[in-house]
Amino acid sequence: MRWRRLIALTGVAVGGLAGVAYGLFTSQSRRARVVIGLPDGPPLRADGVYGRGAGEPLRFAVLGDSMAAGLGVDDPAELPGVLLANGLADETGRPVCLETHAVSGSTTRDLPAQVDRVVADPPDVALVIIGGNDVTTRMSVAASAALLGTQVHRLREAGIGVVVGTCPDLGSIRPIAQPLRSVAHEWSLRLARAQRREVERVGGVAVALGDLLAAEFTARHVDYFSRDRFHPSAAGYEAAASVLLAPLWAVVTSPDARS
């Protein structure tokens, strides 16, 4: 199997590592942690009502990890939740109430606690972005995807329309050297495919962020990554919002997606 051969070559196989391969992998991991800077602080928060349309505000919840929360921007107006809330307000002609539950550093294991809060008072539509930290912590692809499917099912059972931005391609992060970057790339794509299957199986809408954005992030890495060289910049979040808005709007306007 191609993935297992790649893991063995790069020293990530669980069943035992050659000394040279293990040393290469761990030294590159340490180097990546040094080169990648630390964020200046926690993500900004800008929950509230956006848009000036008439009627009851559309409630829009954001769940997931630091990418969902918008870590890396300097202005609340640049947060992905705010960009999407404004976009939904423009498309629907209604005000949109943004509710952010995403927590920086979360893996899919942390998602149930966020879903608990959301289903206690269900919004109209929810966006979930999760998976990057599952890759960096080497969480099993099968376990990660299955857990995501369970949580999306809980949201759907509560009558919430759900869009999931699947795992981004960590292979586009330049400070990660080869062959570690190839491992991150393959693991990200494998997880994203598994996430998509689970999300669609339980009635959610999956958006393949890695497939749609990796080439752009790789080509424009100076502009699309923030100062820490790991999280997106304002331009990077704008690119992500541009591929997420239409699926969110479709879910909001589709009775089937919200039943």
- The per-residue pLDDT string of the chain (259 residues; one tens digit each, 9 = 90 and over) reads 333 333 333 444 333 334 444 344 444 444 444 444 445 567 889 999 999 888 899 999 999 999 999 998 999 999 999 999 999 999 999 999 999 999 999 999 999 999 999 999 999 999 999 999 998 888 999 999 999 999 999 999 999 999 999 999 887 776 666 777 788 889 999 999 999 999 999 999 999 998 998 888 878 877 888 787 778 888 999 999 999 999 999 999 987 666 6
Of 188, 187, 205, the closest CA to residue 196 belongs to: 205
> How far does Cα 29 stand from its chain's mean position?
22
Q: Which residues are catalytic?
A: 66, 228, 231
Q: What strands, in cross-sheet order, belong to the sheet with 125-129?
A: 48-50, 96-100, 58-64, 125-129, 161-165, 205-207
| Alpha-carbon distance values, 170 to 174, 186, 192 (Å) | 9, 9, 11
As to burial, measured by CB atoms within 10 angstroms (0-12 exposed, 13-18 middle, 19+ buried), residue 49 is middle
> How far does Cα 84 stand from its chain's mean position?
14
> How far does Cα 105 stand from its chain's mean position?
11
The amino acid occupying position 113 is A
Report d(CA 235, CA 221) in Å as an integer: 10
Q: Which tokens hold the place of 203?
A: 């009635």
Report d(CA 11, CA 23) in Å as an integer: 8
Of 140, 208, 214, 128, the closest CA to residue 170 belongs to: 214
Q: Which tokens hold the place of 158?
A: 């509560």
Q: Which tokens hold the place of 88?
A: 């939904």
| CATH pick for 43-258 out of 3.40.50.1110, 1.20.1260.10, 3.30.930.10, 3.30.420.10 | 3.40.50.1110
Q: Which tokens hold the place of 153?
A: 């099912």
Report d(CA 43, CA 76) in Å as an integer: 9
Report d(CA 244, CA 213) in Å as an integer: 11
Which residues in the chain are classed under CATH 3.40.50.1110? 43-258
Report d(CA 161, CA 247) in Å as an integer: 10
Phi, psi of 55 (to 5 degrees): 95, 180
Q: Quick one: which H or E segment has residue 152?
A: helix 141-157
- Three-class SS state of 90: helix
Return the bridge partners of 163, or none.
Answer: 127, 205
Model confidence over 171-221: pLDDT tens digits?
777 666 677 778 888 999 999 999 999 999 999 999 999 899 888 887 887
pTM for the predicted model, two decimal places: 0.84
